[in-house]
Structure 1
Amino acid sequence: MTDFDTSDENFLLSRRTMLTGAGLTGAAIAGSSLLGASPAFAAELAREEGIPTDPAARVAMIRRMRLRTDPGIVYWWFRGRNYAQQGAKLTPLCELVFGAVMKVNPLADGSMELTSYELGFRTAPGTSERSDQLRNPLTGEMVDVPFVPVGPTTVRYSAANDLIFDGKIGNTTFKAEHVPELFYHMGDQITFQQHTAADTETPGLPARRLNDMTMITSPAKEALDPRVHCASATGYGTDLSDYARWWKMPAGMGTQCLRSVGRKETSYAAMPKDWVAMLARVNPEGARDPAKLLTLKQEEYRN
């Protein structure tokens, strides 16, 4: 049985590439009053000046910024640092480089299929080489670092941009609350903020609470133009969760926080060179032709 570590940074970033800018439908829903990718607006807010309020136009803008509105492949990468958070004290744990290959398939009814393959690796703070072991700075213990790709995973979005999801990932039940997006028009930039809170339940393990907040920014001239299929975009992320189990963190040691920044790419050649090199070690053929990564048998995520 697949054993997902739902507090792991790669799982959190995998959720970001899947959930950003989407509502949730099906068994995954919790707190339906918070949900909805395109709520109706009675009047334009000052921070949304010039941003469409029509639900369909807003969905198209989100997809244009986050992915693309036409068929094809996009790539996302993030770099970040993971911290142990004890009250207001932050202690660096490790750094993370994460990349995703994503195939977008718009359907005739306005829905969309998305297939993604995701791979992240960790380094000690201030270093660039992937680590198989890291030192827990709070306990002093050396811990083994898990490493396995996530995916390929295929999900579907409705025409309203709701993620059609049965609430199961491996043997983990995933119940999420999606807070409607906040939109900002700042000069020549458009930004939307997404917040997903999730409770996860895995047999034999304590329940966990996860929070993923992402801000995606694009040039306004691209984000607002329906003739543009794929707007250039930068992402800023904050994830707050319980510690990944592999950290072997004793109870009462706080939570872990990941701060990250990344970018959407339309060219594989633009992906970070260290991430491509790591992919080549894991899957040389996939590193030469990333489209082949989307046809692999899905791997198990092992803690």
Structure 2
Amino acid sequence: MKPGIEWRQPRAAAENESFAADLHAALARVPKAISPKYFYDEAGSRLFEQICDLPEYYPTRTELSLLHSHAADMAAQFGPQVQLVEYGAGALRKVRLLLDAMPRDSVEFVPMDISGPHLLAACDALAGDYPGLAIQPLVADFTRPHTLPPCPDGSRRVGFFPGSSIGNFTPAEADAFLRLAAAELAGGGLLIGIDLEKEHSVLHAAYNDAAGVTAAFNLNVLERARNELGAEFPSDGFEHLAFYNPAYRRIEMHLRATQALELQLGSEVYAFHEGETLHTEHSHKYTVTGFQALAQRAGFKPGKVWTDANGWFAVLWLEASNG
């Protein structure tokens, strides 16, 4: 494998991402809702990294602890030669623990993320700390059609999807992603983090931190709309709202109108009544057996599971058959 960074950005990436079109559609539907992928511009990505270090936000530190304790066992599931694909790669913090457990010349790393500048900066830092590691960053929305670099001869393609990001998908979206992953990881497998069901007070605190970082992260969607699309709305017109919805076993995040207002986007004007929300994210919570059943229906074979002492978080290994 050739060491260093080879930058890959598919021609269709810009065409596939249309913030304006998706925001128009989000504001026109009832109830109003938009994909959480639009959190992750440069500012949003930085805010999320801050969230990961907050005392209330247990998922990151819990998953990191599992990786610290079990990275060698996890990497042992991969095989001797690996093309490691990280979905929604972000700051490349967690994958370092896996890389430390693998021989440097046995892995080609393909981090994939929607935020190009943030990803490239993270890859530059990774290359400096891991000389000789072959890195091929890919700017893409991993839930949409994309083309991975060819898997090197003699290697298995293995996916890494940490952070419980699968919880941001609806059940139908989670099924679609797992089916896509099972197809492109055929003959390899997927290492994935999931957030488990727990006391609602723990969940509430994690998404309503005292420092207000999660609120800023949520509100950044509208700041993007103002800065990138020229959207006009009152500066104090929206507030952060996050709560657990037991009917769907998920945390929901919304932007709630603090008053009756109008949001202008291009030539269109969208009315909000006081208290109306724009649904920006949901985070489903799973049981291990429930998620394994979901993965099995999508084409994976459940493998080893690692959980913390509190039973708050799990990392699962899923084998992907050759078809």
Q: Same fold (TM over 0.5)?
A: no
Instruction: Work out which of the two has the higher radius of gyration on C-alpha atoms and give 1 or 2.
Output: 2
TM-score normalised per structure 1: 0.29
* Larger relative contact order (Cα-Cα within 8 Å, sequence gap ≥ 6): 1
Which structure is higher in helix share? 2
